[in-house]
Amino acid sequence: MTAPSLSVADFIQASRHQLIIDVRAPIEFFKGHIPHAINIPLFDDLERAEVGTIFKQKGKEVAISRGKEIVSPKIEKFIEQVNQLSKNKQVFVYCFRGGMRSNSFAWLLNSVGLQAVVLNGGYKAFRNYVLNYFNQSFPLVLLGGKTGCGKTDILKQLAQQHIQTVDLECHAHHKGSAFGTINQKAQNPQQVFEHHVFWQMYWLKQTEPTLIEDESQTIGFNKIPFGLWQNMKAAPIIKIEVPFEARVHKLVEEYGNVEPEVLKKSVLKISQQLGTLNTKKCLEWIDNDCLHDVAKMALTYYDKTYEFNYHKKQQKMIALHCDDTNAVTNAQKVKQIFQTLSHHVG
């Protein structure tokens, strides 16, 4: 009951824009999966635990027999689901190690006229491939600047102009500060974050430089993969400099419609750094809708942290003075410097 299989590299290439099915249990899928894969589990979480216990206590054959009992009533539903999802009969299947679960599922699909292949080595092989991928050398240029200067907006503008960019904060669902979770989806588990960064970078031109925002290694509770982080620490930085008042206005514009209690929770996250008196002031300002004052206080704290961190950096920096946070205008300025730097880092 062995289906045709592909190596990780071939599986990634062949499955792009195709139907990818992860047949592992939901809890396995949640912790990490191939981007754009759909979870159609052979066993739910309780069934997986049951089969695993039987395997340990009574052996492989009894576990397989119980597994068949669980899966048999689901077969028609599996086939129906895949037929509805598949556009061209091509299906790419994986389980944890590329063993019985994925091969059984692929064999079933092939028996009813679909064209299913499995990932050789399964999710474990894909995971190792991703980790090894980040250990190579990447030509990068970092986009830096103090809080509120509009770096993310600039990245989006440049991405629309076909400049290679990676938005780590977008993949992390976090803006990297105490206010970073506001207006964001819940953060993904670490492996999901890493896989989404990998998936975006994998399809870029590896010989051409990529613009990426200068970040701490930790964004919320997601950590930038170590290999990529090492590359970032050696990359040149385009350091945007925007006047303080313009950045205050940007923050108020961004967070002005947020519920007061949400803002207060974010302020309390940095209360130790702000101090008791300043924290109290911020909470009162939020109650009185004096958000410009809150933004000024927050930026004063973040500016000090930013300057402290930047003094420790060793890489080349190019200062870019901007009058305001206009993303269109500033993106053109960044683009000119980026294209100049590209000749040296590409």
Residue type at 121?
Answer: G
**159 contact partners, CB below 8 Å, separation of at least 6:** 165, 167
Task: Give the SS3 label for residue 143.
Answer: strand
Q: Determine phi and psi for 237, rounding to 5 degrees.
A: -120, 130
- Evaluate whether 335 touches 327 at the Cβ level (below 8 Å): no
Torsion of CA 27, 31, 37, 40, to 10 degrees: -10
The token duo for 200 is: 């975006």
What does each C-alpha distance from 111 to 38, 89, 92 come to in angstroms? 21, 12, 15
Residues contacting residue 230 through CB under 8 Å, at least 6 positions apart: none
CA distances from 17 to 77, 107, 134, 245 (A): 23, 22, 23, 45
Q: Which residues does the annotation mark as catalytic?
A: 95
